Amino acid sequence: MARVALPIADGPEVRRYARQLMRLHARPMTAVVVLHGLAAVAGMGAPVLLGMIIDAVSSDEGAQLSTVDNIALGLAAFVVVQAVLTRFAAMASARMGERVLADLREDFVDRVLAIPLSTVERAGTGDLVTRTSRDVNQIAHSVRRGVPETLIAIVTIVLTAGALALFTPKLALPCLVGAPIIIFATRWYLRRATPAYLRENATNSELLDGLTETVEGARTTEAYGAGERRIARTMHDLKENYRAERATLRLRSIFWPMADMGFQIPVAATLLVGGWFFIEGWVTGGQVVTAVFLVQQLIEPVDRLLMWLDNLQVAGASLARLIGVSLVPDDRSPTGVKPTSEQLSATDVRYSYVDGRDVLHGVDLTIAPGERLAMVGPSGAGKSTLGRLLAGIDGPRVGEVTVGDAPLVELPLDELRGHVALVTQEHHIFLGTLRENLMLASPSASDAKLREALAAVAALDWVEDLPEGLDTVLGGGKHEVSPAQAQQLALARLVLADPHTLVLDEATSLIDPRAARDLERSLAAVLEGRTVIAIAHRLFSAHDADRVAVVEDGKIAELGSHHELVAANGSYAALWRSWQA
């Protein structure tokens, strides 16, 4: 089956989303900025007061101890106020961050839950799992830390620069000598950093994948004496990881010294210019000291800003993958057409995964309500594809599949589910109680109804034996059900969903045939009174069906009852005979 990739949102789309998110949280964001701003202002008390002390102790008339004591008290007050404000500002940041984050991930899950069925069936879950775990966590880190830290840094830089201009206007300019260095270094770095760090992360995941594989396959490795291959793989992954680590290390080795000098040169420049102005009598000694330390206080927020810029870039890429999920065009086009009966039919159906290479070449098939049809045939003949079309998951390229004259792809999903359901032997058990696992098929079902469904699939006995019955929590290391039980629960869901037609795909069953026999009894209860199209794996299913369709090379090669086909002496008859021995 051809895989389809999920889309990724483009730049404007991501920016639109980010803006919308900001508008939604405008008020808490303002509170964060104001509180951090006030804390930053309090932080400027120290250098200013130090300047006052210097001026007081070096004044000609000699300083009073009480003056120094008073200023020191003021210093203490500023420190306390700054600490208190920081505490409230940090709380406000956390509240805002957590809220934005919750919105983001909830929105993402809703988007996932709206992905068209055909895409879900064909995209596989690997990419989605990556988006759900890695990308969501990447964004979590950025939203909880990166966004507030960036905001704080910008506010602090602006206010510190303002303080410089206010208290020591004559000494505000020398600090700008660092700007060209920092701007140049940052541009150089940012252009290279994101791809280099992404590469580093990728080699880390690769290493982890290799390790997982080696651990999971330890027995296989021993059986084949392939230990050297596992070591070779690990060495390869480690080498790649080392290369990527060295690449980012090289970037830092160049960027850090440049940025550091960009921070320290302004301090020296302010000292030099300040000293000169002081000797000329244009500024006081205290002002020089205040200016020097204010410039030094600029280092921290600028450094912080630079550090997070890179992180925000990566988060942007993750966000693009998250919102990209909802860019899949809807695959159904409800026209309001209503089925007139429960008769399922396919007319001249053709389908291709790749343009120009049809896998179905004009299939015609009509299934009477209540009929059991078994589809047999070699792998790759198109059985599963035909099954998906008959279940209304995909629409045919040419021809149509209808229920009561209404094309399946023109029915809304909710309505389609009431008519036909595709049952694969994939029987996912969700984390949650047994009741929750059943109720997804029928959210309003009563406990009595659930028990009825469980009884129909012969699962009621073991469920009643569980200490907490329907309230038993399944999965996640709590209570593990056996594969056969999982399958029974999947079947009970079907009883509750109650579609009139079932398309049954046995193709991926790994269940032992003997265990399957018990399940078949459960299954028989589910199939009772429904139209069934079984993509049969075992010849038992074909034998028991009303009609058998042999699918070969994308066409129905033989069609008829078991006895008719055996009598016809075609490929089905040959298979049956060898099986019967």
How far is it, in rounded angstroms, from Cα 581 to Cα 579?
Answer: 5
DSSP letter assigned to residue 330: P
- Does residue 34 belong to the site contacting other proteins (CB under 8 A)? no
Nearer to other proteins, 69 or 468 (CB): 69
- Scanning residues 501 to 540, which ones bind other proteins (CB under 8 A)? 507-515, 517, 536-540
Binding mask 376-405 vs other proteins (x if CB under 8 A, - otherwise)? xxxxx-------------------------
- Does residue 22 belong to the site contacting other proteins (CB under 8 A)? no
What's the closest the beta carbon of residue 38 comes to other proteins, in angstroms?
A: 13
- Scanning residues 358 to 377, which ones bind other proteins (CB under 8 A)? 376-377
Tokens of 379: 């792998």
3-state secondary structure of 411: coil
**Which residues, including other chains, have CB under 8 Å from residue 408's CB and lie 6 or more apart?**
391, 392, 395, 401, 402, 416, 419, 420
- Scanning residues 140 to 169, which ones bind other proteins (CB under 8 A)? 140, 144
Distances (CA, A) of 85 to 88, 104, 532: 5, 28, 69
Nearer to other proteins, 76 or 368 (CB): 76
- Does residue 356 belong to the site contacting other proteins (CB under 8 A)? no
- Scanning residues 195 to 224, which ones bind other proteins (CB under 8 A)? 207-224
Helix boundaries (H) for 168-284: 178-216, 218-224, 227-279
How far is it, in rounded angstroms, from Cα 537 to Cα 534?
Answer: 9
How far is it, in rounded angstroms, from Cα 505 to Cα 513?
Answer: 15
Tokens of 474: 């399944």
In terms of Cβ atoms closer than 10 Å to its own Cβ (0-12, 13-18, 19+), residue 207 is middle
In terms of Cβ atoms closer than 10 Å to its own Cβ (0-12, 13-18, 19+), residue 115 is middle
What's the closest the beta carbon of residue 323 comes to other proteins, in angstroms?
A: 15
Helix boundaries (H) for 391-502: 413-419, 434-439, 447-456, 460-465, 483-497
How far is it, in rounded angstroms, from Cα 38 to Cα 74?
Answer: 16
What's the closest the beta carbon of residue 177 comes to other proteins, in angstroms?
A: 11
Nearest in space to 384 (alpha carbons), one of 173, 551, 248, 161: 551
Among 330, 405, 426, 464, binds other proteins (CB under 8 A): 426
Which of the stretches 153-161, 430-438, 460-468, 556-564 binds other proteins when contact is defined by CB under 8 A? 430-438
Element (H, E) at 350: strand 344-354
Binding mask 461-500 vs other proteins (x if CB under 8 A, - otherwise)? --------------xx-------------x--xx--x---
What's the closest the beta carbon of residue 549 comes to other proteins, in angstroms?
A: 14
* Tokens 């070449």 belong to residue: 361
Among 22, 83, 524, 567, binds other proteins (CB under 8 A): 83
Among 21, 31, 120, 525, binds other proteins (CB under 8 A): 120
Among 229, 338, 478, 563, binds other proteins (CB under 8 A): 229
What's the closest the beta carbon of residue 322 comes to other proteins, in angstroms?
A: 11
Q: How many amino acids of this chain bind other proteins (CB under 8 A)? A: 166
Nearer to other proteins, 15 or 577 (CB): 577
- Scanning residues 311 to 350, which ones bind other proteins (CB under 8 A)? none
DSSP letter assigned to residue 169: G
- Does residue 177 belong to the site contacting other proteins (CB under 8 A)? no
- Does residue 355 belong to the site contacting other proteins (CB under 8 A)? no
Cα–Cα–Cα angle for 358, 332, 326, nearest 5°?
Answer: 105
Which of the stretches 19-27, 77-85, 159-167, 338-346 binds other proteins when contact is defined by CB under 8 A? 77-85
- Does residue 180 belong to the site contacting other proteins (CB under 8 A)? no
- Does residue 26 belong to the site contacting other proteins (CB under 8 A)? no
- Does residue 76 belong to the site contacting other proteins (CB under 8 A)? yes
Element (H, E) at 106: helix 65-113
Phi, psi of 26 (to 5 degrees): -60, -40
Range 387-391, long-range pairs (CB < 8 A, 24+ positions): 387/422, 387/503, 387/505, 387/533, 387/535, 388/121, 388/422, 388/503, 389/346, 389/349, 389/351, 389/360, 390/344, 390/346, 390/365, 390/420, 390/503, 390/533, 391/420, 391/421, 391/422, 391/503
Tokens of 59: 């004044």
What's the closest the beta carbon of residue 148 comes to other proteins, in angstroms?
A: 11
What's the closest the beta carbon of residue 133 comes to other proteins, in angstroms?
A: 5
Tokens of 33: 């900025």
What's the closest the beta carbon of residue 385 comes to other proteins, in angstroms?
A: 13
What's the closest the beta carbon of residue 396 comes to other proteins, in angstroms?
A: 19
The answer to whether 393 and 118 are in contact (CB under 8 A) is: yes
Nearer to other proteins, 217 or 316 (CB): 217
What's the closest the beta carbon of residue 348 comes to other proteins, in angstroms?
A: 26
- Does residue 556 belong to the site contacting other proteins (CB under 8 A)? no
CA dihedral 77, 82, 84, 88 (to 10 degrees): 160
- Please count the other Cβ atoms lying within 10 Å of the Cβ belonging to residue 295: 28
Nearer to other proteins, 222 or 364 (CB): 222
Among 414, 446, 467, 529, binds other proteins (CB under 8 A): 414
Q: Left if phi > 0, otherwise alpha if psi is -120 to 50, otherwise beta: which for 476?
A: left
Tell me the CA end-to-end span of the chain in Å, nearest whole number: 34
Nearer to other proteins, 102 or 183 (CB): 102
Binding mask 246-285 vs other proteins (x if CB under 8 A, - otherwise)? x--x--xx--xx--xx--xx-xxx-xx-xxx-xx-----x
Nearer to other proteins, 67 or 343 (CB): 67
- Does residue 191 belong to the site contacting other proteins (CB under 8 A)? no
Nearer to other proteins, 15 or 229 (CB): 229
Which of the stretches 192-200, 234-242, 343-351, 447-455 binds other proteins when contact is defined by CB under 8 A? 234-242
What's the closest the beta carbon of residue 11 comes to other proteins, in angstroms?
A: 26
Which of the stretches 92-100, 186-194, 364-372, 557-565 binds other proteins when contact is defined by CB under 8 A? 92-100
